[in-house]
């Protein structure tokens, strides 16, 4: 299976990040994010940094992206959770993506600066994502948000956090989420699939990264191949996925996470959860971050269309 030629040219520019070296991994990713920023901020999106309170009285940083739209009335909302192997990333990681979603899907997007492993192992990051969702929904009127049109989304490790957040928020008395958008998601702490075990030389993400990621996130008790993991840490091990909202799920042919995404999509469908599955055979993990490539633009366009459909 061949990589898309444009993406093949891009991936050679990407350094290998060893997340086991946490400080260096964070510095390398921050530099990459700064270099990949395409342009100045979009004039059609207003960006605001804020904080929401955690239950323990500390504060959690969020960033809001609001389209400068002429539409009247409250707008739909997306809580988007960045990736980074549970170890790297911040509010800047998906800045461009969040601006695109806000402008083109005409919704208010919130990014969340959740706590990172290994300093804050599971469930700290997941707790932060749920706190952000609950606090923002409870302020819906103040924020100009339609509480009946709320979605969660996440990329890579953010996909695991988005899935766990959606499950934990189900049945909380608020209107049901209209969508979970899982992009190249981390789903299986067991590393049981063929691609997770054998894709050792793929761009951006490899088997070794997955192994180190889960060890840092779940701590020394993590082992591959177990039948169960801490509740809501590993979406592949959720006992009842029927609690999930309608799902948009995308993966790529050259991604060690591919097979667990395909298996999760089948499991959701067996539970009668509506699933829109997109498989980009010639892409690699999170290739849509390369917004200037043909395939990257197409993937982002598909995501925007999924959001617009869910919010309609």
Active site residues: 156, 255, 285
The residues facing 47 across adjacent strands are: 65
87 and 25 Cβ atoms separated by less than 8 Å: yes
Q: Could you tell me which residues come within 8 angstroms of residue 180 by beta carbon, excluding any fewer than 6 positions away?
A: 151, 152, 153, 162, 163, 166, 244, 245, 246, 247, 248
71 and 130 Cβ atoms separated by less than 8 Å: no
Which phi and psi (to 5°) does residue 20 adopt?
A: -65, -25
Looking from the CA of 156 toward its CB, the CA atoms found within 13 Å total 25
Structure tokens at 179: 């969508």
Start-to-end Cα distance in the chain: 37
Q: Could you check whether the bond before residue 86 is cis, i.e. omega within 30 degrees of 0?
A: no
β-pairing verdict for 247-254 and 179-183? parallel
Structure tokens at 294: 């043909």
Q: How far is residue 42 from each of residues 73, 110, 112, 161, 297, measured CA to CA in Å?
A: 22, 16, 20, 28, 17
């Amino acid at each position: 299976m061949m990589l898309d030629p444009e993406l093949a040219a891009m991936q050679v520019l990407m350094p290998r990040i060893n997340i086991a070296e946490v400080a260096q991994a964070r510095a390398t990713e921050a530099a990459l994010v700064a270099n990949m920023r395409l342009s100045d901020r979009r004039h059609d999106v207003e960006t605001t940094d804020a904080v929401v309170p955690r239950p323990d009285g500390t504060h959690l940083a969020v960033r809001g992206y609001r389209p400068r739209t002429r539409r009247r009335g409250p707008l739909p909302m997306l809580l988007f959770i960045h990736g980074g192997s549970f170890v790297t990333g911040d509010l800047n990681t998906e800045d461009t993506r969040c601006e695109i979603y806000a402008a083109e899907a005409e919704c208010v997007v919130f990014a969340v600066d959740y706590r990172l492993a290994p300093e804050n192992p599971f469930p700290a990051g997941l707790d932060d994502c749920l706190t952000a969702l609950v606090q923002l929904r409870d302020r819906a009127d103040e924020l100009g948000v339609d509480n009946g049109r709320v979605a969660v989304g996440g990329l890579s490790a953010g996909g695991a956090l988005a899935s766990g957040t959606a499950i934990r928020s189900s049945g909380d008395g608020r209107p049901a989420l209209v969508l979970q958008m899982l992009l190249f998601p981390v789903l299986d702490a067991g590393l049981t699939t063929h691609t997770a075990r054998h894709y050792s030389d793929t761009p951006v993400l490899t088997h070794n990264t997955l192994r180190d990621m889960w060890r840092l996130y779940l701590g020394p008790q993590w082992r591959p191949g177990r039948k169960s993991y801490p509740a809501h840490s590993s979406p592949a091990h959720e006992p009842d996925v029927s609690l999930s909202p309608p799902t948009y799920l995308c993966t790529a042919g050259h991604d060690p996470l591919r097979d667990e995404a395909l298996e999760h999509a089948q499991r959701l469908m067996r539970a009668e959860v509506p699933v829109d599955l997109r498989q980009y055979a010639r892409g690699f993990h999170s290739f849509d971050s390369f917004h200037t490539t043909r395939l990257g633009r197409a993937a982002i366009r598909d995501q925007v269309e999924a959001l617009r459909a869910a919010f309609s």
